[in-house]
Amino acid sequence: MVSGMHRGSSLRLITGLAATSVAAAADFIPLPTPAGNVLMAAQETTVGEFRAFVAATGHDAVGGMYTLGADDYDWLPRGHTWMDPGFPQTDAHPVVGVNLHDARAYAAWLTATHRASGHISTDQVYRLPTDREWSLAAGLTEEQGDTPEERLAWADSAYPWGHDWPPPPEFGNYAGTESAAGKPSWWGTIPGGYTDAFARTAPVGSFAPNPNGFFDLSGNVWEWVEEPYTTSALAYVIRGGCWGSDRPAYLLLAKRNPTFAMTRNDELGFRLVLAPVSATTATPPPPATLTPVTVIFDWIANVQFAGLLLAAERGWYEEAGLAVTLVPADPAAPDSIARVQAAQGLVVGIADGSALLKARADGVPLQAFATIFQASPIGVLTLASNDFTQLADLRGRRIGIHAYNRPQLGIMLGSVGLTLEEVTPVVLSNDHHSLPTGLIDAQVAYVIDEKVAFETAGHPMRVFAGHEHGYRTYSQVYYTSEANRRAHPEALATLLAASHRG
């Protein structure tokens, strides 16, 4: 039974008790509070401990995990899980790929298990630390502010090792030079040649503890905290930095990162506290079972998909009862239709209206049910300084096109009584120089994108929008299989509503 612990003493508990033989031992250390009755794990929860929990309960902690690849994209869903996060781990490593609900569920199971075995009393409970408790463990005893956001704004610039940057050698598991192998080109490392022995996670306790006895409180993995970032935010707090942290701001003792509760990624784990029930507010109940939906893009994850990306970031899909996985396209093969056909479960694709009509004409049983763009983003651009005030003025002119834009140009010209034979199409490839330099007079382009590129470079543009010149089609159309549309109308409507909220 754990009670009456004194500051400075510690308690060793078998946190995966009675579950499997891989149970690991963890010290719990009293936090420096007046009562001294809240204890915090000296180490992060390990893969072995979490594995014991999953084996005992069947808890499903799989799905939607974002991991880092060697390509030049940011964290993406790549099919990894806490069991296989994309890099080697043993049972002694901190578990990653667990969201706030997974961590809460682990704590609830451990509480029940240890109460049943008599290791803790019915007046005690395992839970995630509050933001203030985590600060106490880190040595921040004087913080001011009612929310984590306010406390971060109030804090000074202390690091776990002092006020100088970068950290001393081998201080913790951060993004040292060792972390760069196999990373994207944009990956950053701590300047000055900082290095540690671990490219990704390290076994817990591999580095010296902080003055209060806590291991890896800085670095290794970010840790969930049981507190919203602000009083109104949907985002919760993670603290401590991780193996991928290279910037000073991420390694400040006071750093809080707002993170959505459903987030699973390869940098994020947790540790527990053991506290009296009287020092514990009710933990929100786990969400009801979520309906899994996969959305396959027809391009990379950028602002074209702002509604969906924002809904995912803000947790609005989960709020609506959906576990949505967004799958950006490979720009070398962006077509979504074949991938949707090959996928299992409730899968939604996004594609151009013409592409969907072609698929239907080929006998593919796909069903469009909404559109993101109510008009095509394709149009004709010319310099605002040119004399071409209407599309018909382009008769006899040189017009840059991608080879696949020829039909669209023909339609647009047809709307003003011209044909392709009355202009000179010039095939280009992502060329933003020929128009400003006068090599061509106009250019078929994605107005939402290439107009910005030209104007950012100092060349104001005149736009002849395709949808105002006969080229009528929907773009970025939501579709799914006919079978899914019949079987899941409510989930599809919910997906749209949450995406539109974004």
Partner 1 sequence: MADVDATAALITTRHQPAADPTYQAGSLRLIAELLEVESGAGSLGHMRRETWLATPGATPELVEAIFAPLEAE
**Identity of the residue, 96 or 326, whose beta carbon is nearer to partner 1 in the bound complex:** 326
Residue 194 interacts with partner 1 (CB under 8 A): yes or no: no
Contacts 24+ apart (CB under 8 A), 105-112: 105/53, 105/57, 105/59, 105/286, 106/45, 106/49, 106/50, 106/53, 106/59, 106/270, 106/272, 107/272, 107/283, 108/283, 109/53, 109/56, 109/57, 109/59, 110/15, 110/53, 110/272
Q: Which residues contact 265 (CB under 8 A, 6 or more apart)?
A: 65, 66, 67, 75, 96, 97
**Identity of the residue, 73 or 161, whose beta carbon is nearer to partner 1 in the bound complex:** 73
Residue 485 interacts with partner 1 (CB under 8 A): yes or no: yes
Residue 489 interacts with partner 1 (CB under 8 A): yes or no: yes
- Binding-site residue total for partner 1 (CB under 8 A)? 55
Residue 447 interacts with partner 1 (CB under 8 A): yes or no: yes
From candidates 293, 372, 401, 423, binder to partner 1 by CB under 8 A: 372
Q: Which residues contact 123 (CB under 8 A, 6 or more apart)?
A: 276, 277, 278
Do residues 266 and 87 make contact, with C-beta atoms less than 8 angstroms apart?
yes
Q: Classify burial at 44, counting beta carbons within 10 Å of its beta carbon; exposed 0-12, middle 13-18, buried 19 or more.
A: buried
**Identity of the residue, 253 or 326, whose beta carbon is nearer to partner 1 in the bound complex:** 326
**Identity of the residue, 140 or 364, whose beta carbon is nearer to partner 1 in the bound complex:** 364
Amino acid at 415: S
CA distance 418 to 427: 19
Give the other-Cβ count within 10 Å of 211's Cβ: 9
Do residues 87 and 202 make contact, with C-beta atoms less than 8 angstroms apart?
no
Q: What is the token pair recorded at 147?
A: 């929310």
Residue 301 interacts with partner 1 (CB under 8 A): yes or no: yes
**Identity of the residue, 138 or 412, whose beta carbon is nearer to partner 1 in the bound complex:** 412
Interface characters, 383-422, with partner 1 (x: CB under 8 A) = ------------------------x---x-----------
CA distance 138 to 498: 38
Interface characters, 44-73, with partner 1 (x: CB under 8 A) = ----------------------------xx
Residue 182 interacts with partner 1 (CB under 8 A): yes or no: no
**Identity of the residue, 86 or 502, whose beta carbon is nearer to partner 1 in the bound complex:** 502
From candidates 35, 249, 439, 452, binder to partner 1 by CB under 8 A: 452
CA distance 22 to 418: 76
Residue 371 interacts with partner 1 (CB under 8 A): yes or no: yes
CA distance 174 to 207: 11
Give the other-Cβ count within 10 Å of 48's Cβ: 23
Residue 15 interacts with partner 1 (CB under 8 A): yes or no: no
Residue 453 interacts with partner 1 (CB under 8 A): yes or no: yes
Interface characters, 91-130, with partner 1 (x: CB under 8 A) = ----------------------------------------
Residue 496 interacts with partner 1 (CB under 8 A): yes or no: yes
Q: Which residues contact 285 (CB under 8 A, 6 or more apart)?
A: none
Q: Which residues contact 302 (CB under 8 A, 6 or more apart)?
A: none
Restricted to residues 315-344, the positions that interact with partner 1 (CB under 8 A) are: 328
Residue 249 interacts with partner 1 (CB under 8 A): yes or no: no
Residue 482 interacts with partner 1 (CB under 8 A): yes or no: yes
From candidates 57, 121, 341, 354, binder to partner 1 by CB under 8 A: 354
Residue 313 interacts with partner 1 (CB under 8 A): yes or no: yes
- By the criterion CB under 8 A, which residues form the site for partner 1? 72-75, 185-186, 300-304, 306, 309-310, 313, 328, 353-354, 357-358, 360-361, 367-375, 377, 407, 411, 447-449, 451-453, 455-456, 467, 472-475, 477-478, 482, 485-486, 489, 496, 500
